[in-house]
Amino acid sequence: MIGALEAPARRGTVLVVDDEEGVRASYRVMLEDEYTVLEAEDGAQALEALQAHEVDLVMLDQRMPGAPGIEVLSRIKAADPAVVVVIATAVREVRTAVEALKRGAYDYITKPFDVEDIELLVRRALDKRNLEREVLYLRSTIPQGFDAMIGRHPEMVRIYQLIAQIAPTAATVLVAGESGTGKELVARAIHTQSPRSAKPFVAVNVAALPDTLVESELFGHEKGAFTGAVARKLGKFELAHGGTLFLDEIGSLRPDLQAKLLRALQQREIERLGGSRTVPVDVRVIAATNVNLRQAVRDRAFREDLYYRLNVVPVTVPPLRDRREDVPLLVEHFVRKYAREFNRDVRGVSAGALEVLQRYDWPGNVREMENIIQRAVVLAGGPVLRLQDLPLDLAMPETGARLDEGTGLPLREAREQFERQYVLRVLEKVGWNQSRAARLLGLHRNTLLARLAAWGLRRPNGGEDERATTSLG
């Protein structure tokens, strides 16, 4: 039999596949207040339900009449690869669990079920489903070539639209933004969307080159141009011929080379160091800066004519602290990336850890986040990144910043910072069961609730004494 409760689908649709009516009834009692619950007695009915309804999560029993759950799992994923499937087993069998995960199961549970475990598992699984849908939607609204750029903040959407407009043209672009915001990703997206996409994209960080080598690296040199120049060398302009040249940290370019760069942009030709003839080049230049070039012009540290030649189309990338709503998406991206790269079973981030990540100011922007998530994935003790997996200075940024300035932090404020993080860690340890946390902390439950309210901390997903994590995969 296949049936659906009349309750509205507030948070998603769960399909329960089990041949025992008592088990299905248990699921109904646990889930019907928040979810639409469908039922099926075996794999065949489950596939029928998937064709007739939009299903978000399948709770699939392993031992049923007909095909076992592990076989039905493969058919479900073939019919709808996006649906989340959890395998239920009466006996914990490592072999079955491993095989289920290999075939695409999100997780597995063993009978008998604990109500809180089921509620948490369903919530995590549907959070995963919703996050994947959101990512797919964002990707569908963004042209090809933006795969590496992540964000839904209005400023990021504006950048996507601007890139789509300017990419087909040959206009010079100046990308501004703090270090680590992803300026090179913007340049690569412009190149990928442009008619030059089949030609080279050559990136060079001007500030990373020794002063004595900058001219040779950019414009090349002839044999004998200087000691050690034993052969002709092509510079970045010639290597990028027909394509795009990305000049990062352009504000650090020496004044004499600024004049040579201006000539290359105006005349579309360069002259190698030690050479006597000009070489025509067809290159689109995209420059980037993390300093205020207008101020540099006023300070006579940057040529005004070169500034206007570069600043034909300005693109400003916002710092991460100004688009905090993008933090969960970026965290999800980096967790997936490094879990796959390092072959680590890390699939999510706890609510407490995510709260700290969203509150942090990220002075190093996206690059800093990538490094922190990479380290956390490598050192994680389980499938969920928790507060203890994050650096202490991330959890208490104000303390570190003030100590660096040498001014110190008042003891009262430092104590409150520490207390906040300690309480968060205890809450995570007990799955946000506030009664248990209060007992461990030696506090009355109402005292704990008052402190959480004062800190602006809420129970994850608004549930009562929930044990919640934000699953990312």
The CATH code of the domain that includes 81 is: 3.40.50.2300
Q: Which of 288, 303, 318 is the last residue before a domain boundary?
A: 318
Give the per-residue pLDDT at 412. 65
Residues 347 and 310 occupy one common structural domain:
no
Give the per-residue pLDDT at 401. 42
**Assigned token pair, 105:** 């199961």
Greatest alpha-carbon pair distance for the chain in Å reads: 89
Residues 171 and 287 occupy one common structural domain:
yes
Give the per-residue pLDDT at 130. 73
Residues 234 and 304 occupy one common structural domain:
yes
Would you call 4 exposed, middle or buried from its count of C-beta atoms within 10 A (0-12, 13-18, 19+)? middle
Q: Which residue has the tokens 């956390």?
A: 376
- Provide the domain limits for residue 101: 13-139
Give the contacts of 219 (CB within 8 A, at least 6 positions apart).
Answer: 235, 237, 260, 264, 270, 271, 272, 273
| pTM, full prediction | 0.60
233: in domain? yes
1: in domain? no
464: in domain? yes
Alpha carbon distances (Å) from 118 to 21, 63, 88, 281, 308: 17, 19, 11, 64, 61
Write out the DSSP string of 248-273: ETGGGS-HHHHHHHHHHHHHSEEE-B
Across all residues in the chain, what is the average pLDDT?
Answer: 82
**pLDDT tens string 349-379:** 887 788 889 888 899 999 999 999 999 999 8
CA distance 84 to 72: 13
Residue type, 225: A
Give the per-residue pLDDT at 396. 56
Residues 314 and 328 occupy one common structural domain:
no
Percent of the chain with pLDDT over 90: 40
The CATH code of the domain that includes 219 is: 3.40.50.300
Predicted confidence (pLDDT) at residue 406 exceeds the cutoff of 90: no
Give the per-residue pLDDT at 92. 63
CA distance 376 to 7: 41
6: in domain? no
Omega before residue 383 within 30° of 0, cis: no
Mean pLDDT to the nearest integer, 158-183: 94
289: in domain? yes
For the ranges 257-261, 297-301, 437-441, which has the lowest average pLDDT? 437-441
Give the side-chain half-sphere CA count within 13 A for 29: 10
**pLDDT tens string 263-305:** 999 999 999 999 888 999 999 999 999 999 999 999 999 999 9
Residues 251 and 397 occupy one common structural domain:
no
Residues 353 and 288 occupy one common structural domain:
no
CA distance 473 to 466: 20
Residues 303 and 365 occupy one common structural domain:
no
**pLDDT tens string 112-129:** 777 777 888 888 888 777
208: in domain? yes
Give the per-residue pLDDT at 394. 73
Give the per-residue pLDDT at 30. 86
**pLDDT tens string 92-109:** 666 776 777 777 888 878
- Around Cβ 391, how many Cβ atoms within 10 Å? 13
Residues 340 and 424 occupy one common structural domain:
yes
Give the per-residue pLDDT at 459. 59
Residues 364 and 437 occupy one common structural domain:
yes
Q: Which of 318, 350, 377 is the last residue before a domain boundary?
A: 318
Give the per-residue pLDDT at 137. 52
The CATH code of the domain that includes 390 is: 1.10.8.60
Residues 182 and 289 occupy one common structural domain:
yes
366: in domain? yes
Give the per-residue pLDDT at 247. 97
Give the per-residue pLDDT at 450. 81
Residues 221 and 338 occupy one common structural domain:
no
341: in domain? yes
Give the per-residue pLDDT at 300. 94
Alpha carbon distances (Å) from 91 to 20, 87, 95: 16, 12, 11
Q: Structurally, how many domains does the chain consist of?
A: 3
Angle between the N-to-C axes of helices 115-141 and 327-341, in degrees from 0 to 180, rounded to the nearest 10: 100
Q: Which of 109, 139, 169 is the last residue before a domain boundary?
A: 139
Residues 307 and 335 occupy one common structural domain:
no
**pLDDT tens string 203-242:** 999 999 988 899 999 999 999 888 888 888 999 999 999 9
